[in-house]
Chains A and B, each alone.
Chain A
Amino acid sequence: MLNQTAANVVGSQGQENHEQSHPRFLAHHFHSSEQQFDSGKLGMWLFLITEVMFFSGLFCAYAVYRSTHPEIFIYAHQFLDANLGATNTIVLLCSSLTMALAVRSAQTSQQKMLVVYLTLTLIFAAVFLSIKYVEYSHKWHAGLLWAGDFHPVAGHEHAHDGDGQDAGKTTVMPRDVGVFFSIYYALTGLHGIHILGGMGAIIWILIRAVRGDFNAEYYAPVDFVGLYWHLVDLIWIFLFPLLYLIH
């Protein structure tokens, strides 16, 4: 089968689509919409892997300091408001639900619902960032910044004691508490930047959804942005207990 006459021809993948009209969003170098979709999906998953590796460096730093300086984490977590953190967790979970419903709407060509769900997702994301802003600004005023600028203001120290039992108890501040806040700001800050990036992506597909680009035949961008959004949500699911719920 190796000679010229008996040559196999490569292009058998492309047969099914040649007689039909060329799909609107099919790039020239793909044989079929399925091939394009599979490529995009695999590419998106690989991108998500790079995101996981990106955050894993910080999780690793967290693990190292948590194991070498557990007292810092036990002392410092009381400055984080578990109620606000829990609210934000619920907000992000809701946004993941609306995002999933948006993908479903795109797959079933329900354009109006797609627009509604994407808008809802955007609103949830904005609520998340607003709550995060409240938390950040409170810490800013209390002087609870990263290690280099860690100057806690007296009187703010017991503001957010979760269960109320330890409220009156004065604990001696261990050394190097600032490192906890460094890790806190690095993790939540990076996560916040990813939320912002996700909002940008959602706005982009929202514009395209309003324009009517998506339907049951072509919904890949909605799907891929959805995957990204779920990953950002998932990272927060890990951040919340690791930072807010330390005992």
Chain B
Amino acid sequence: MSVLQMETESAAVNERPSAENYLNCSHGFWSWAATRDHKRIAIMYLISVLGAFLLGGIFAILIRMELWTPQRTIMDHDTYNHTFTLHGAVMTFLFIIPSIPAAWGNFVLPVMLGAKDVAFPKMNLASYYLWVGGALFLLAAIVLGGLDTGWTFYTPYSTTTNSSVITASIGVFILGFSSIFTGLNFIVTMHTMRPVWMTWFRMPLFLWSLYATSIIQVLATPVLGITLTLLVAERALGIGIFDPKLGGDPVLFQHFFWFYSHPAVYIMILPAMGIISEIISVFSRKPIFGYRFVAYSSIAIALLGFLVWGHHMFTSGQSRISAIVFSALTFSVSIPSGIKVFNWLATMYRGSIILTTPMCYALSFIFLFTIGGLTGLFLGALATDIHLHDTYFVVAHFHYVMMGGTLVSFIAGLFYWWPKMTGRMYSEFWGRLGCFGVFAAFNLTFFPQFILGARGMPRRYYNYPPEFQLYHQISTVGAFLLGASLFVAAFTLIHSLFRGRKAPANPWGAASLEWQTSSPPPLHNFESDPCAGDPYDLDSQIYDPDLSGYRFRVESERLHSTNDSAI
């Protein structure tokens, strides 16, 4: 093949994105608002959850500003109660729970399966509009008297406060349906839309993690639905199931709530782990270590996650024996989590690590998630939990897992799939700089909170003794730096939309199917059916300078040419 021919061919490949793809195949408001294309729905979800993230972030900054001094700084105590409640409710229900499944799951899942769309495209769109509806109710609660119960809605306070609990509950109920629809859709898609050659154990691990997530969404979310229905009925009619005045039991509410909300933290973290499994393998240029263990550990986490809700209630008056059982079960969750972390490390061992932006975020994830996981052991142990419960130690632990874990992984996915989604490459320098900022500022914000909590600073308090002020101020400075770093990351990506060079089909040399189609993909995902292969056989890809991306290695280019290798 002459050089000239090569050039024209690669030019043709590079031309394709500017030809017809899912972004430019139709125009106008309704082509987006009424779309059934999973990729467009994913983008609508992405923008919406990022909007929610911004809102929740503003609440977070306000909380940190108020805590700058031990007394009143910028708001009164009532406003403070509203602010931390809305920070929690917006971040959990509007951002973290839908973030990775609804945005990245929607975008990547059908493409990774080589399918044209999810099994139920209309339900997928409905799920998005339910999210919008739920968000409107939650925002209406802010306007109609606010919400000061904390995101957990504990009775009996939630049945007696005069803030708008009913509106917020209806919002969360609707958001639950949105989440169920996503999960249901994914399970069915993975069961029925896989190509014949793709057995369960040839699926990328991100799909395994989404499968585990979807199981939790389908099984746990209805329980939140009925709990909130009863809460609304309690407030509106006084049915007395949670009200001790009428013979009810407020602790029952906590059982119901945590039966959902503990599995829900695995809805938040499992897909994050799936993204990390993809990125660590690709940028270590090595197949994932212990594929089956990583896959099964997702399912194990999902199932064990249903058995540990009582560890949120060690001090709420449940019996001693159930506290002991819940504590023991809680420790069992650390086994599959540990399996994942060790397998990621083993994947990197002797790999050719490339420190691209997604990889930097993935490494941050491992570090932060490990701290979050290990500090969880203190909270799972009964004796230490008596001292640490409801302190900033819990706050710091939760944020290390949810923000250091899920959010960092969400951003890792954002940088990893950004070229596929938009067809543009971003600046690696600014990407890495943003990542470093996020990592450093995150630790600056939340590590002092471990110390605060261990020394007895309770969570959700408005005033605090002056000796805690230094830690609070370090944390506040960290929060502002964290916000600034996130804006660096955001501007890196936005800049790429206008100035970024065109993305090749496979910029990272990954072997899962989404990299076989053009960037951005055409409306039905593939021009021709994708090639069968092991998603972690990274040897099958070779860098081609003409494409400035990777392509399939032909047989003569193989270093260790064995026909029956890999799959």
Contact = CB atoms under 8 A, between A and B. Distances in A.
A149 to B, nearest CB: 7
Contacts of B553: 3
B226 A2 contact: no
Given A50-B218, A146-B237, A146-B239, A57 B230 contact: yes
B26 to A, nearest CB: 15
A175 interface: yes
B226 A57 contact: yes
Interface string B172-200: 00000000100011011101110111000
B246 A55 contact: no
Interface string A46-78: 110111011111101100110011001000000
A92 B116 CA distance: 41
Contact of B239 (A4, A29, A56, A182): A182
A173 interface: no
A179 interface: yes
Contact of A29 (B121, B185, B237): B121
A154 interface: no
Contacts of B422: none
Contacts of A3: 540, 552-555, 558
B316 interface: no
Interface in A172-216: 175-176, 178-179, 182-183, 185-186, 190
Nearest to A61: B241
A162 to B, nearest CB: 25
A165 to B, nearest CB: 29
B249 A176 contact: no
Contacts of A179: 240-241, 246-248
A5 B555 contact: yes
B485 interface: no
A35 interface: yes
B390 interface: no
Contacts of A164: none
A5 B565 CA distance: 16
B529 A176 contact: no
Contacts of B552: 2-4
Given A7-B532, A11-B529, A148-B239, A54 B223 contact: yes
Nearest to A146: B239
Contacts, number: 160
A147 B563 contact: no
A38 interface: yes
B119 A39 contact: yes
A178 B196 contact: no
Contacts of A55: 226
Nearest to A174: B247
Interface residues of B, number: 62
Interface string A139-159: 000000011110000000000
A99 B21 CA distance: 46
Nearest to A57: B226
Contacts of A47: 184
Given A35-B192, A54-B223, A55-B226, A49 B247 contact: no
B120 interface: yes
Contacts of B226: 54-58
Nearest to A177: B247
A148 B246 contact: yes
B495 to A, nearest CB: 35
B367 interface: no
B458 interface: no
Nearest to A175: B247
Contacts of B524: 29
A69 B247 CA distance: 10
A247 interface: no
Contacts of B197: 8, 10
A50 B246 contact: no
Interface string B226-263: 11011001000111110100111100100010000000
6 contacts: A2-B534, A9-B531, A38-B192, A39-B189, A47-B184, A149-B238
Given A58-B226, A149-B237, 19 more contacts: A3-B540, A5-B554, A7-B531, A10-B196, A29-B524, A35-B193, A39-B188, A42-B191, A43-B120, A50-B222, A51-B222, A54-B226, A56-B223, A58-B230, A61-B241, A64-B252, A148-B246, A178-B247, A182-B240
Interface of B: 114-117, 119-121, 123, 180, 184-185, 187-189, 191-193, 195-197, 218-223, 225-227, 229-230, 233, 237-241, 243, 246-249, 252, 256, 524, 529-534, 537, 540, 552-555, 558, 563, 565-567
8 closest A-B pairs by CB: A148-B238, A176-B247, A147-B240, A57-B226, A8-B532, A7-B531, A182-B239, A10-B529
